[in-house]
Amino acid sequence: MTERFRTDYQNSETFLTRRELAARWKVGVETVKRRVRAGLVPDVRFNSRCVRYRLSDIIDAESQALVTHGGK
């Protein structure tokens, strides 16, 4: 049963906090907020104070930004 729990946990979605996302992008927290308001990054709201970002959504947004801006 423990092995099943580990497997389920490993396959679960990873979420980042606003600070973690800002650190990943090397920007300020306010920049993350602006990008969310601009619709560039979707957020997940668990309640009014708990906002998270799916890592898979972040990777998609980063990939899209590279394609849009001609990066490699």
Placement of tokens 């959504």 in the chain: 57
pLDDT in tens, the chain (72 residues): 445 545 455 557 899 999 999 999 999 999 999 999 999 999 999 998 999 999 999 999 999 887 765 555
Placement of tokens 């799916």 in the chain: 54
Helices 18-25 & 29-37 angle (0-180, nearest 10):
100
Do the beta carbons of residue 70 and residue 64 sit within 8 Å? no
Do the beta carbons of residue 16 and residue 4 sit within 8 Å? no
> What are the structure tokens assigned to 9, written together?
């946990």
Q: Which amino acid is at 69?
A: H
